[in-house]
Copies of this chain bind each other. A is one copy, B any other.
Amino acid sequence: MALRHAILAALLDEELSGYQLAKAFDTGVANFWHALPQQLYAELAKLEKEGLISGREVVQDTRPNKRLFQVTDAGLAELDRFAADTAKPSFIRDDLLVKVQAADHVDTGALIAQLTERAAFAEAKIRLFDALAQKMRGDLGEEEFLRDGERIGPYLTCMRGLDFERGNRDWCRRAVAVLRERQAAHAQQ
C-alpha cells in the first residue's frame, strides 16, 4: 500500500490539486512512483476521509475551481511509520525485457523498432530529470547541495531516476546494435 505514501511524499513540498498531482505522477516528474489520475482521485478521497490530508477549495475565475491538498500531522506520522517499516525488495517488471528474453524466437525487426523507441523515451526522461536536478540544486554544486541543502529527498530520488533511464537508454542501444549485426550476418549466409 505505497500509493498513499507516495502521495503524501509528493505533497510534502507544496499543496497540489488532484489534477496537478496526476500530471506529476504521469509525465515522469514522478521519479519515485507512477500512478494514473483515477487512482489518485480515489486515493485522495480516502486520505482526506482518514484525516491524513486536508483539502481546501480554491475558486478560480478563468478556470474550473480546484481543491488543493496538504499533509496533516496525522499524515506526517503515517509517513514516518511507513518509512520505519521494512521495505520489500523491488523487481524489474518490463514487457520489453520479456520480448528480448525471447529475442531468438521472435521477429527481430519489431524488436529493434521497440528498443529504438524505448531509447528515445529514456532520453527524453533523462533531459527532464537533468533539468529538474539542476533546478533543485540551484547555484550550488552537487556535493555542496547534498551537504547543506534543505530538501534532499527529491534530489536523491531524481538521481536514481536519472541513472535508471541512462541504463535503459544505453542497454536499448546496445541491444539494437547486437541485433542489427546478427541480422546482417544472417543475411549474408
Contacts and interface: CB of A to CB of B under 8 A. Distances in A.
Interface string A157-184: 1011101100100110011001001100
A90 B96 contact: yes
Contacts of A50: none
Interface string A67-85: 0000000001001101110
Given A100-B153, A102-B12, A153-B101, A2 B95 contact: yes
A59 interface: no
Contact of A90 (B84, B94, B170): B94
Nearest to A165: B92
Number of copies of this protein chain within its complex: 2
A42 interface: no
A85 to B, nearest CB: 8
Given A88-B95, A146-B178, 14 more contacts: A5-B99, A31-B97, A33-B91, A33-B94, A33-B97, A80-B105, A83-B106, A83-B107, A92-B160, A104-B152, A104-B153, A147-B182, A147-B185, A164-B167
11 contacts: A2-B93, A5-B95, A8-B102, A30-B91, A33-B93, A34-B92, A80-B105, A90-B96, A102-B153, A103-B156, A104-B150
Interface of A: 2, 5-6, 8-10, 12, 30-34, 76, 79-80, 82-84, 86-107, 110-111, 114, 117-118, 121, 146-147, 150-154, 156-157, 159-161, 163-164, 167, 170-171, 174-175, 178, 181-182, 185
